[in-house]
Amino acid sequence: MNQTHDHVDFLVIGSGLAGLVFALKSASMGRVLVLSKTRLELSNTEKAQGGIAAVMKDDPDDSLEKHTQDTLIAGAGLCNETVVRHVVSQASDRIRDLQDWGVHFDLDEHHNIALAREGGHSARRVLHIEDHTGHDVHRQLLARALENPNIELRDHHFAVELIGRRDVEPGCFGQNQCLGAYVLDKKTNEVYVQTAGHTILATGGAGKVYLYTSNWEGATGDGIAMAHQLGARVTNMEFMQFHPTCLYHSSSRNFLISEALRGEGGELINHKGEAFMPKYHALGSLAPRDIVARSIDAEMKKSGADCVFLDMTHKPGEFLRGRFPQIYKRCLDLGIDIATAPIPVVPAAHYLCGGVMTDIHGRTDIQNLFAVGETACTGLHGANRLASNSLLECLVFSHNAAYWIREHNPILASANRSYQAKFPIPNWAERRNRNESRGGQNEDELILVSHMWDEIRRLMWAYVGIVRTNRRLERAKRRLANILQEFDEYYSSFQTNADIIELRNIATVADLTVRCALARKESRGIHFSLDYPST
């Protein structure tokens, strides 16, 4: 049975940092509903180790201009400089927001905020909480949201499809408008209609499109796929950043080894123990991520080795245990004492610099639809994200979106309710033009869905990875076309469930990535093509 839930002023899809900041900033304006497709605690934010890049106002050794230039250089000429300057200038105020919400960053011996340096940065400007910054920030904001009477949080609720005015009102012309979303309650396996004055996509990135990734299991590009389906522009999908140092171990395939270790003097070495990064870039192991990832890839191909190593043995064990307790413990549990042995590492899909195109307020092409965080392409990152600018982006654009709504005082509940009264929104079964059986499904057929998922991730890793060629991309395009055709058959005949929706989303995002990569006839930032090696 389909249900329709009460209308809310703000529907936030995703419970990571971007979604929670928007919820906290907008709760005074109306009812906020935050959806998480699994547990509320799980997101890419929770896995973020390094920290937040911000020039604090009283720092004599850094400046907004330095942070701006570092971001522009890392972005390889594709950053929107106006956006970069806007974000950098807000950083200290957004850090103050976190502190006001109860976040406590590490302090140095003088009781000032401790600052780390990461790849591509010309100064120490990364605020952190040991090596689990994202975890602590996320838990603190989640606790605040749970305490707020105007914010409702629902776990295990998966947004299946956005509802557009054009889907509801026959003959509607002009700009499309988002009225809310169809939502799968994973506890009952029922899909209900959730309407909203404004819908905010904060679903994070798409690292699970690749076989090897540092991302959490839910990073399947859901918001990007849904926005694309509704007609919003999607851009720069070819720029998937591969983090250079993911732990290489059979028992730990997506554990990140933070860039902050290289900021503390960690040296990348090959299987012979030789430091190889100085021959690729003047900054050595602190070069921008795209260069480090390609350099590691080249070293591995040259030697045939399965990995390279990050050497931290120059630092005493006491320092490593205090500064990087999570990384130290995880490695030790796997038999690696990083104080006495180098860490085996490989690159892995990490951060998507493209996404749903937005303006500086997080607005998309679709009226009343916003995108924030890694789901969005704001112009900040260009062709390669500067380390620790991602959490900053979440803070700034979620703030901007809530501020824009407050300042422009749009009609929230009444506008969409008037459409619903005149043009009722069909339930999910009507939307799909068939009955949704509540019975069991053919398990053999569901296994094929799992195989399609695995095939997409493997072909993306093999053909759309760190180094690309037209031939590989064309192969990926053909194979994805077949997979998408097969998927359409499954989607039209199966009862809606989370696995099938996630498969649809990663297939859509993979296809968009390949199409964007084929369209770029150059190498730039993260996107490196052997057919077009010049920028």
CATH number for the domain that contains residue 463: 1.20.58.100
Provide, rounded to the nearest whole percent, the portion of the chain with pLDDT above 70.
Answer: 94
Q: Residues 263-275: pLDDT tens digits?
A: 999 999 999 999 9
Which residues are within 8 A (CB) of 359 and not within 5 positions of it... i.e. 6 or more apart?
Answer: none
User: Does 478 fall in a domain?
Assistant: yes
Which parts of 47-118 are beta strand (E)?
A: 52-53, 115-116
- CA triplet 17, 22, 24: central angle to 5 degrees? 95
Catalytic entry in 117, 144, 165, 289 = 289
User: Does 89 fall in a domain?
Assistant: no
- Determine the average pLDDT of the residues in 296-302: 92
DSSP 423: S
Alpha-carbon distance of 471 to 511, in angstroms, equals 16
272 and 391 inside one domain: no
User: Does 367 fall in a domain?
Assistant: yes
256 and 228 inside one domain: no
Predicted confidence band at 290 (pLDDT cuts at 50, 70, 90)?
confident
Cα–Cα distances (Å) from 205 to 212, 224, 363, 488, in that order, read 14, 9, 18, 24
DSSP 367: B
Nearest to 262 by CA among 107, 74, 49, 91: 49
- Based on the structure, what is the number of domains in the chain? 3
20 and 151 inside one domain: yes
Which residues are within 8 A (CB) of 166 and not within 5 positions of it... i.e. 6 or more apart?
Answer: 172, 176
Query: By mean pLDDT, which of 4-8, 119-123, 214-218 is the weakest?
Result: 4-8
Name the percent of the chain in helix, strand, coil, to the closest 5: 40, 20, 40
The residue range of the domain holding 190 is: 4-41+135-239+353-418
Flag whether pLDDT at 322 surpasses 90: yes
Cα–Cα distances (Å) from 40 to 35, 101, 215, in that order, read 8, 18, 16
The predicted structure's pLDDT at residue 418: 57
In the residue annotation, 289 being an active-site residue is answered as yes
Q: What CATH number is associated with residue 150?
A: 3.50.50.60
Alpha-carbon distance of 104 to 446, in angstroms, equals 46
- CA triplet 85, 89, 91: central angle to 5 degrees? 120
25 and 154 inside one domain: yes
218 and 263 inside one domain: no
Cα–Cα distances (Å) from 50 to 63, 253, 327, 378, 410, in that order, read 20, 19, 11, 22, 38
Q: Residues 355-402: pLDDT tens digits?
A: 999 999 999 999 999 999 999 999 999 999 999 999 999 999 999 999
The predicted structure's pLDDT at residue 477: 97
- Determine the average pLDDT of the residues in 157-163: 97
Residue at which a domain ends, from 384, 403, 418:
418
185 and 153 inside one domain: yes
509-534 burial string, b = 16+ CB within 10 Å, else e? Answer: bbbbbbebbbebeebbbbbbbeebee
229 and 267 inside one domain: no
Burial class (CB in 10 A: 0-12, 13-18, 19+), 329: exposed
The predicted structure's pLDDT at residue 439: 45
- Determine the average pLDDT of the residues in 238-264: 90
Q: Residues 406-465: pLDDT tens digits?
A: 998 655 545 555 555 567 898 888 887 655 554 445 566 678 888 899 999 999 999 999
339 and 358 inside one domain: no
258 and 284 inside one domain: yes
Q: Residues 217-246: pLDDT tens digits?
A: 999 999 999 999 999 999 999 999 999 999
* The residue to which tokens 């201009």 are assigned: 65
User: Does 130 fall in a domain?
Assistant: no
223 and 142 inside one domain: yes
Flag whether pLDDT at 22 surpasses 80: yes
Q: Residues 499-513: pLDDT tens digits?
A: 999 999 999 999 999
501 and 485 inside one domain: yes
The predicted structure's pLDDT at residue 174: 74
- Determine the average pLDDT of the residues in 43-72: 93
User: Does 84 fall in a domain?
Assistant: no
Mean pLDDT, the chain, rounded, equals 92
DSSP 207: G
Q: What are phi and psi of 511, to 5 degrees?
A: -65, -45
* The residue to which tokens 């058959």 are assigned: 489
Q: Residues 515-529: pLDDT tens digits?
A: 999 999 999 999 999
User: Does 93 fall in a domain?
Assistant: no
Q: What CATH number is associated with residue 320?
A: 3.90.700.10
User: Does 77 fall in a domain?
Assistant: no
395 and 261 inside one domain: no
User: Does 31 fall in a domain?
Assistant: yes
